[in-house]
Structure 1
Amino acid sequence: RRAAGLMFNLLDTPGHEDFSEDTYRTLTAADAAIMVLDAAKGIEPQTLKLFEVCRLRDIPIITFINKMDREAQDPLELLDEVSSKLALDPVPLYWPAGSGNRFRGMIDLRGEQFIPYAKKSSNDDEGHPEPVSLKANSLAQFMSEQEQAEAEEGAELILGASKPFEVKSFLEGHMTPVFFGSALRHFGVDQLLQGIGDFAPPPHPAKVDKAGEPSEIAPGDSEVSGFVFKVQANMDPNHRDRIAFFRLTSGKFARGMKLKSQGTGKQISVNAPIMFFASDRELAEEAFAGDVIGIPNHGVLRVGDSLSETGTLRFAGLPNFAPEILRRVRVKDPLKAKHLKKALEGLAEEGVTQLFRPEIGSDFIVGAVGQLQFEVMADRLGGEYALDVVFEASPFAEARWLAGAPADVEDFASKHRSAMATDIDNQTVFLAKSAWEIGYVAERYPKVQFLRTRERG
């Protein structure tokens, strides 16, 4: 999206029903995040997890409270929830007049204007009425005197109660500007985009290991570099393609360039890079720091890979989170067991689900942060690999990566061999029957760390 000479790369992530680890990883490629809250539901459980990633990565957050044209919670309660649950200072830049059938628009708290809302269908391209001064007589055609008094009283109250907005505090992750609207009705979106242009940071320098030494690379540096934050197979049913989504961190990329993987040292000729806009795709002749391009490949690139012209730069790995649901997976045709292993490894490398191989037994344990990931997995195993699988209850409920001195980790593993496994990167994992068991063994083995997150790459 271009506005006032600026270009925004907007990375959309799935909603709460379609939540997956992809949602986490997409955040690692962003310079700022837009937290979209349902005005009726407020902060949902997965929002807290995404916020944790933003905190880990120092990603500033802009808040958009959506669906104001439906019945909503009191906006003051929503702001209080943001403040108490996320430890962020919410600063509204607009204030809504009503909600649901009584939604009339919003007050611009900085410009003393009222932005009217016109109820219309989502297919109606006609815009909403032009903003009017709060002192204009024409305000009466949009709100009754009582509605106007209520909106102005709310605006005065919030101006007195909230801190003044400071860009520095926002960029440091302490403050979030708050916008209201209805995305479906195209209301409040222009104000949000204006806010992104005014406040969101440009691509920033990134910390890297350069030939094993800590360093930093800036967007304006000449060397082209970046990292893979997502891999998607078979995006186009007509072509069994595999696309690595690559976030450029520095340099000017040109089609046909050769990039090296820091992990393997392999050189890749990027001859057909792709730019995406929703389902549309086009060849990218050039790209700059902050851009995301798709690199077609045949399994060479994995999530977390660092690419650069010299192959000496390594970016911080992408986070893997301990799964919330564990299932045992079995193929109905026993003759296809080897085929299942290869398919599960391929999907795990893409990040569709996590894969754990227990040290004892031949079962595969797959983990996910949401139920939908298993449905996606079953559909892809059937459609792409012709495997009819069933997911069964797992004897394990929790997974943790182990860290510590090798001797301490091995001592623990030797005494819990039936609960030990490895992940797709051959990292040691402890599979527990309950959260209580993790607390119990953590107390008994204080020299061993039981980690909920692990960097991949």
Structure 2
Amino acid sequence: MSAPADTSGHRVTAEIRNEAGRRRTFAVISHPDAGKSTLTEALALHAAAITSAGAVHGKGDRRGVTSDWMDMEQARGISITSAALRIDYDDRVLNLLDTPGHADFSEDTYRVLAAVDCAVMLLDSAKGLEPQTLKLFDVARNRNIPVITFVNKWDRPGREPLELLDEIEQRIGLRPTPLNWPVGIAGDFRGLIDRTRDNTYTRLHRTPGGATRALEQTLDHAAAAELEGPAWHQATEELDLLDEIGADFDEASFLAGRSSPVLFGAALPNFGVSHLLRTLIDLAPAPSARTDTTGAPRPVEAPFAGFVFKMQANMDKQHRDRMAFVRVCSGRFDRGMVLTHAATGRPFATKYTQAVFGSERHTVDTAYPGDVIALVNAQSLRVGDTLYDGPKVEFPPIPSFAPEHFAVARALDSGRYKQFRRGIAQLDSEGVVQVLVSDVRGEQAPVLAAVGPLQFDVVRHRMEHEFRAPVELAHLDYGLARRTDPDSAPVLHGLSGAEVLTRRSDNALLVLVHNKWRLKVIQRDHPTLLMEPLLAGGIEEQN
């Protein structure tokens, strides 16, 4: 008589597949001031993850947004670092990654986009597609990330909805497929017609300050026509036009990155946010197999594997800890697992694991593909590292951007040099700036390289307030960086308008050049020297 089959492995596999299917992991991307953090807050409000929404610039009794937890973010009213929010809603787990909108922090956004399965592209109804939105969309397209478009601020004066749809199609080649349609022009927002539910009309009523969910009233078409008058008739005529041109949602086209579902709303008064929430649940893709460095797709039911997409220190001011944010790609994570660090082959214990909601956190015992977990006191990890259980697996590294601004950092207080070195190393590991060391300048004067100058403001602030080691930054007159090699470096270092710096954290040997004209002269006079472009804005930089 044969022994009964062991079904425990099949049960675990089925559990992982089921849990992965419940996950939706997405980022919100936009140009600065399009309302990204406000939308993040409104989504959390509608999912009942918070009891009242905050404002980026809090007024009266209205608090600041949950995702902007840094002192500097709250003071300036901009997002400086990405934030991870986990929301349980309607038997789904939403892992929402809020990203910095400002171009100076686009490298942080790029790292976040490596960890999501979908993106919500937020447009200002008055401004449409802005430069930073276009750059971030290029990153999403290069990573084959499906995009849902949310046209925000419809409660303020703006452009015609058909004009915005045309701009999306003409400028970025995405076919817009509206899921709802506004009644009332931008600035006179009456309500929304749901194209996915037989053109059901929902009239919206603002709540005081927009701190709680907007009141919704469903009307039949006759009542809507009588109440809204010309605004209703204009909206229905525009809907007829959309039907004629076949602007209907197509799942295959959306997942392939050829079309984008479009929704209209206003995040601040919480108009249209509930429809976006339903759309994410119904249409955003669940986690799927992710390609490793060998080019093989790793199924979600394979043994645990995940990669670090973000490092952040000092989120807890009481403990000054260092957290590694890990996207779970496969398998089930159980707190206490001893994983393997792919970069070193060394074991990594996971005794302290948390989920983060803005500055709040709680212990995580179990996680599944699509989840984001924060490993506490992860001193040995860096952005792009892989952790795994079982046979070795490693995911492709996350490239660094081409820096365009450079400054020499020096400690203002020589007696706090140890704190200075520790702080600079920490900011380097987090990706706040790239730290380059020159044999000529020495370790006491590292060169900080940044995509934008606001990154230097973050360095000054954090070095003074977190590491108690104020710094002086001296700007360097370089505007370009190129990758070189040990054979070319000595020659390049001796040329006017160029300086070679020793390897940064990813072991790249860089040469800094004053400007693109000087670069062309060097390349013309020394065509055999290696000067390779670096990654810029999510696509390979051009000479």
What's the TM-score once normalised by structure 1's chain length? 0.89
Instruction: Report whether the alignment pairs 1:44 with 2:130.
Output: yes
Determine which of 511, 523, 532 is the counterpart of 1:430: 511
Residues 96-129 of structure 1 deviation map (CA, whole Å, 9 limit, x = unaligned): 2234541112222342222212233334535433
Task: Work out the CA distance in 1 between the residues paired with 2:373 and 2:396.
Answer: 19
Residue 414 of structure 1, CA deviation: 6.0
Residues 110-162 of structure 1 deviation map (CA, whole Å, 9 limit, x = unaligned): 422222122333345354333323x3234423x1x221222222223344346
Structure 1 counterpart of 2:376: 296
CA contact (8 A) 1:402 1:451 kept: no
Task: Work out the CA distance in 2 between the residues paired with 1:59 and 1:226.
Answer: 18
Structure 1 counterpart of 2:161: 75
Uncovered stretches (5+) of structure 2, i.e. residues with no partner = 1-86, 539-543
Structure 2 counterpart of 1:236: 316
Higher mean alpha-carbon deviation, 417-426 vs 4-13, is at 417-426
Residues 154-200 of structure 1 deviation map (CA, whole Å, 9 limit, x = unaligned): 22334434643211111111111111111121111111111112211
Structure 1 counterpart of 2:343: 263
| Partner SS state of residue 58, structure 1 | coil
| Partner SS state of residue 430, structure 1 | strand
Residues 404-428 of structure 1 deviation map (CA, whole Å, 9 limit, x = unaligned): xx75x55864664952123223311
Letter in 1 for 2:446: F
Residue 262 of structure 1, CA deviation: 0.6
| Partner SS state of residue 325, structure 2 | strand
Structure 2 counterpart of 1:125: 212
Task: Work out the CA distance in 2 between the residues paired with 1:103 and 1:380.
Answer: 42
Residues 143-158 of structure 1 correspond to what in structure 2 (within 5 A)?
143=228, 145-158=229-242
Determine which of 150, 153, 173 is the counterpart of 1:64: 150
What's the TM-score once normalised by structure 2's chain length? 0.76
Q: Residues 440 and 189 (structure 1 numbering): CA distance in 2 closer, same or farther, change over 3 Å?
A: farther
Structure 2 counterpart of 1:397: 479
CA contact (8 A) 1:262 1:311 kept: no
In the alignment of these two chains, the number of paired residues is 445
CA contact (8 A) 1:228 1:304 kept: yes
Task: Work out the CA distance in 2 between the residues paired with 1:380 and 1:333.
Answer: 15
Residue 401 of structure 1, CA deviation: 2.8
Residue 248 of structure 1, CA deviation: 0.5
CA contact (8 A) 1:105 1:117 kept: yes
CA contact (8 A) 1:227 1:305 kept: yes
Residues 244-290 of structure 1 deviation map (CA, whole Å, 9 limit, x = unaligned): 00111111111110111110111111011101223321111101011
Residue 18 of structure 1, CA deviation: 7.6
Task: Work out the CA distance in 1 between the residues paired with 2:495 and 2:421.
Answer: 25
CA contact (8 A) 1:20 1:372 kept: no
Task: Work out the CA distance in 1 between the residues paired with 2:519 and 2:418.
Answer: 32
Residue 338 of structure 1, CA deviation: 6.2
Determine which of 212, 226, 229 is the counterpart of 2:306: 226
| Partner SS state of residue 259, structure 1 | strand
Structure 2 counterpart of 1:356: 436
Task: Work out the CA distance in 2 between the residues paired with 1:75 and 1:359.
Answer: 57
Task: Work out the CA distance in 2 between the residues paired with 1:250 and 1:78.
Answer: 39
Determine which of 177, 200, 210 is the counterpart of 1:113: 200
Structure 2 counterpart of 1:376: 458
| Partner SS state of residue 505, structure 2 | coil
CA contact (8 A) 1:259 1:311 kept: no
Instruction: Report whether the alignment pairs 1:136 with 2:222.
Output: yes
Higher normalized strand content (fraction of residues): 1
Letter in 1 for 2:285: P
| Partner SS state of residue 358, structure 1 | coil
Task: Work out the CA distance in 2 between the residues paired with 1:46 and 1:392.
Answer: 28
CA contact (8 A) 1:92 1:178 kept: yes
Letter in 1 for 2:473: F
Structure 1 counterpart of 2:39: none
Instruction: Report whether the alignment pairs 1:25 with 2:107.
Output: no
Task: Work out the CA distance in 2 between the residues paired with 1:258 and 1:34.
Answer: 35
Determine which of 269, 285, 295 is the counterpart of 1:185: 269
Letter in 2 for 1:128: L
Structure 2 counterpart of 1:194: 278
Higher mean alpha-carbon deviation, 300-309 vs 155-164, is at 155-164
Structure 2 counterpart of 1:215: 296
Of all paired residues, the percent bearing the same amino acid is 36
| Partner SS state of residue 292, structure 2 | strand
Q: Residues 18 and 433 (structure 1 numbering): CA distance in 2 closer, same or farther, change over 3 Å?
A: closer
Determine which of 196, 205, 208 is the counterpart of 2:289: 205
Letter in 2 for 1:216: P
| Partner SS state of residue 437, structure 2 | strand
Higher mean alpha-carbon deviation, 379-388 vs 175-184, is at 379-388
Residue 67 of structure 1, CA deviation: 1.1
Q: Residues 206 and 138 (structure 1 numbering): CA distance in 2 closer, same or farther, change over 3 Å?
A: closer
Letter in 2 for 1:37: L
CA contact (8 A) 1:17 1:372 kept: no
CA contact (8 A) 1:232 1:350 kept: yes
Residue 378 of structure 1, CA deviation: 0.8
Letter in 1 for 2:505: I
